[in-house]
Amino acid sequence: MDIDIHNIVIVGGTHGNERIGFHLVKKFQQSPELLFRPHLSTVCIIGNPQACMQNQRYLEADLNRCFLKADLENTQLIAYEEQIAKALYQTFGPKGNTARFLLDLHSTTANMGLTLILVNDHPFNLQLAAYLTHHNPLIKVYRWTQTDEENAFVSSICELGFAIEVGPTPQGILVASLFAQTEQLIHQILDYLTLMNQGSPPKIPKQLTLFQHLETLDYPKSAQGELAGMIHPQRQGQDFQPLDPGDPLFLTFQGQTIAYEGNSRVWPIFINEAAYYEKGIAMCLTQKLDIAIQAS
């Protein structure tokens, strides 16, 4: 594959209460030699500085939902995070460009382990994901692509790259083991990019297992729209584990079990993510797929 990547962007603190990415970027800014690789230029950015200072997800709008092209070009959208999105877009756009490789660092209260979140099907991203999962089977790959819906995430600015999601960790605190795993993963990615630039691409597996986004599920709600139930104890923490029709899914406040009513097996992720209560999302449902990887 004829791709020569020399410019890397690492964004941490897109959400101000996700402290792993924020503190990793601060570490790299203070010690840039840690990221040095021949012929690679790496820029580290705090995505949402004010939200990070206040240790909250955002101030006025979720920055990781501000990157629809129409919104980026709408001069009437002037909320704090909307202005940040426009500045990032002006600096690193146009949207979907291949001039840079972007990593967006996130953490979650859900039991996601180390997860790569892909927002497109670019062969380079799939090859890198296959390489990383081969060397660390604990890494999962979540592909958020829908043919009729534009992606609004930070990582959609650049076609090359993806988000890294790690958990479980409570909002607003650091977990040392996940901090170390994220940092190690970043170094593995930079090493891979260096090998590619040197014309010595590493061997890539011919197949990648990924979890394709299907839909989101909300919590049980009352007729007034109030929360009426919670994640069933048997489903709590079971991210990336199969869910079959009839399996326990929710538990009402009166103790009634609500079973999954789908037609086929799915694999839920982001189960009981704290930040998603406001979005009406109890979990994301995915389909587990094995896809062929194109040779370089």
Residue 296: predicted pLDDT: 65
Match 């020399």 to its residue by tokens: 6
Percent of the chain having pLDDT more than 70?
99
216-278: CATH topology: N-terminal domain of TfIIb (2.20.25)
Give counts: helices (H), strands (E), the chain.
6, 12
Q: What are the backbone dihedrals phi and psi of residue 75, each rounded to the nearest 5 degrees, phi first?
A: -70, -15
Say which CATH class 7-210 falls into: alpha beta
Q: Contact, 189 vs 199, CB < 8 A?
A: no
| Distances, alpha carbon 191 to alpha carbons 54, 127, 131, in Å | 34, 14, 12
CA distance 185 to 181: 6
What mean pLDDT is predicted for residues 88-93? 93
Q: Is 21 exposed, middle or buried (0-12, 13-18, 19+ CB in 10 A)?
A: buried
Strand duo 7-12 + 41-46: pairing:
parallel
Q: Contact, 138 vs 167, CB < 8 A?
A: no
Query: Which of the two residues, 139 and 201, has the higher pLDDT score?
Result: 139
Summarize pLDDT for 143-184 with one digit per residue, the tens: 998 777 899 999 999 999 999 999 999 999 999 999 999 999
The CATH 3.40.630.10 domain(s) of the chain lie at 7-210
The CATH 2.20.25.160 domain(s) of the chain lie at 216-278
Strand duo 7-12 + 97-107: pairing:
parallel
Summarize pLDDT for 125-154 with one digit per residue, the tens: 999 999 999 999 999 999 998 777 899 999
